[in-house]
Each structure stands twice: as structure tokens, then as C-alpha cells.
Amino acid sequence: SQKESLELATEVARVTNVKFKEGVGSNLEVVTAETELRQAQTNYYSAIYDALVAKVDLQKATGTLQK
């Protein structure tokens, strides 16, 4: 799921930063991990938005949308 992907990307970014600070990882690895984390965040929030839009569409279709 998107939430699991976000959690994994968060952990990868954390570990990559630790490796960099310990001198066993590169700056490129950090930038890549941070970029992938931002993409996972975008995907996660996009999925939430899509679910909310679908819920509203369903409520409109069934006449249960509260104003």
C-alpha cells in the first residue's frame, strides 16, 4: 500500500543519512533516498485525495452528500 511504501522510504532515508554521517554512504545516496521519500509522500497524499474524491462522488451519486 501507499502507507507501507511511505514507511519504507522514510526508513531508507533515515538509514541512508546515518550511513552518510558515518562516512560509509555517499551524498548521492542521500539525495536519491530523499527524492524517493518525497515521491512516496506525494503518492501517499495523492491516494488519500483520490479516496476522498471517490467518497464524495459516491455520496453525490447516492444522494447522501451532506451540505
Asked, for residue 8, whether it belongs to a domain, the answer is yes
Asked, for residue 67, whether it belongs to a domain, the answer is no
Q: Is the pLDDT of residue 35 over 90?
A: yes
pTM of the model: 0.83
CB of 18 within 8 A of CB of 11?
A: no
Q: Which domain holds residue 23?
A: 2-62
* C-alpha distances in Å from residue 20, one per residue of 10, 12, 36: 15, 12, 16
Asked, for residue 49, whether it belongs to a domain, the answer is yes
What total of structural domains would you count in the chain? 1
4-33: pLDDT as tens digits: 999 999 999 999 999 999 999 999 999 999
